[in-house]
Structure 1
Amino acid sequence: MSEAKLKELGIELPEAPIPAGNYIPAVKTGNLLFISGQIPLENGKVAYTGKVSDDNLETAQKSAKSCAINILAQIKREAGSLDKVTKIVRLSGFVNSVPEFTQHPKVINPASDLMFEVFGEKGKHARIALGAGSLPLDSMTEIDAIVELSE
């Protein structure tokens, strides 16, 4: 059902991005899947870079959605199917912002919206959205996830 919803939304999942550091992209323990932070990699390159401000909020929102798509790709790689998701438990969103920027939740909203669109009620989750002085590879956003899977 979730995979069909992606097609309906016109979203094709990319190959799950490979980590840029000394860690693995996901850890499964029990029925929980912890997805490492995903940046807006598209076709092997960071698609959205630089500091977020009120002037580029819409671009930053696209960056967050790109991160969410990469989270979905990691879930599919690890679980074999998005249909095994029973709950998106939590998203943690980081925004590479100028110090005076205060709209971090608005930046991360598109990632949360995508989880709800794809998974319905199972996509509703707890979340944090906060600013950071910098992020890996100068990406605008980075988001990680905790996901519950069926057995």
Structure 2
Amino acid sequence: MIEDKLKQLNITLPTPPKPAGSYIPVVISGNLAFVSGQIPMQDGKVLYTGKVPSEKSIEEAQSAAKLCAINLLAQLKANLGSLDKITKIVRVSGFVNCTPEFSEQPKIINAASDLFFEIFGEKGKHSRIAVGVASLPLNSTVEIDMIVEFA
């Protein structure tokens, strides 16, 4: 069970963050769940803000990406009822708030991808983009969205 795997990894899913704009966190269409972009929020506060590498290190940005992944899972659990319903993580899109010359976005988004692989095994292998952007909502360091298949 996925809940057991989360406990083994010392991960407690938070109450999902509320949307920061005029959208809903998860849209279900058929057997796909489209999860809106999640930023590194905890207890209603953005924990990681600023650009990589000038204001945040790669390691801090990786921690931000992992927190985004946890928030994505929290949104899915709230909407699906159980993460065990997930049959495949289809797509992960990662956005890194960074300086123009920075080119190691994949290294940052790997923190989220690796967590999904660790939790879901083969079902966690997904397609992905990892891009740098000039800014993100609330000056967050990372934003990640995803598409999952469920039964």
Coarse TM-score class (shorter-chain normalised): over 0.9
Instruction: Give the 5 Å matches for 1:2-151.
Output: 2-53=2-53, 56-150=57-151
Q: Distance in 2 between matches of 1:117 and 1:10?
A: 13
In structure 2, the residue corresponding to 1:19 is in which secondary structure? coil
Shift of 1:121: 0.4
- Residue 118 of structure 2 aligns with an amino acid whose one-letter code is E
In structure 2, the residue corresponding to 1:12 is in which secondary structure? coil
Structure 2: segments with no counterpart, 5+ residues = none
Structure 1: segments with no counterpart, 5+ residues = none
Q: Distance in 2 between matches of 1:110 and 1:43?
A: 21
Q: Distance in 2 between matches of 1:134 and 1:33?
A: 26
Shift of 1:57: 0.5
- Residue 69 of structure 2 aligns with an amino acid whose one-letter code is A
In structure 1, the residue corresponding to 2:130 is in which secondary structure? strand
> Normalising by the residue count of structure 2, what TM-score does the alignment of the two structures yield?
0.98
Q: Distance in 2 between matches of 1:148 and 1:129?
A: 21
Aligned residues: 150
> Normalising by the residue count of structure 1, what TM-score does the alignment of the two structures yield?
0.98
Q: Distance in 2 between matches of 1:62 and 1:105?
A: 14
Q: What is the RMSD computed on CA atoms of the aligned residues? A: 0.9
Shift of 1:42: 0.7
Q: Distance in 1 between matches of 2:79 and 2:121?
A: 21
